[in-house]
Amino acid sequence: MKQDWTGKTVVITGGSSGLGLAIAQAFAERGATPVLIARDASKLQRATEQIGAAASFVSADIRDGDQVEHAFQQIRERSGGIHALVNAAGLSSRAAILDTSVEDFQNLWDLNFLGMVRCTRAAADDLIHANGHLVNIGSLASKIASRHLGAYPVAKFSVAA
């Protein structure tokens, strides 16, 4: 049986494309009001148009704590509260480990792990108050890393841990 999410606000990071967009569409089909977060406002606009009238977005880079706080404050002001957070934002890399720079490691870890931490902390009070839901999207690469995934497994291992 599909759960009814009518009247519930669900925030999806990385919601402008890929898995995040698919998750947002699934929540909208179950009556939720999806709020998408990603960096590119034009992609977010297209994604919300694809989902339909229920969806909205806030453009933010989750690697920036101030932008995260501002985004979640905007969402609270619009919706009155957050009932679920899906941390689906993420980047991967394709490179041999020795061809992966320290900066590449930092960038992927900052987005894939610390971005999730920032968003979870920003939504925590709402989720606790609403007896809400938290979903963190990881990767099988956190358990078995192929030799050409560079920094990606390291960042996703942190999510799994």
Please confirm, yes or no, whether 152 is among the known catalytic residues: yes
DSSP secondary structure of 45-86: HHHHHHH-TT-EEEE--TT-HHHHHHHHHHHHHHHS--SEEE
Q: CA 60 to CA 71: how far, in whole Å? A: 6
Check: CB of residue 32 under 8 Å from CB of residue 54.
yes
Among 32, 152, 153, 155, the one annotated catalytic: 152
Look at the block and give the residue holding tokens 């009001």: 33
Active site residues: 152
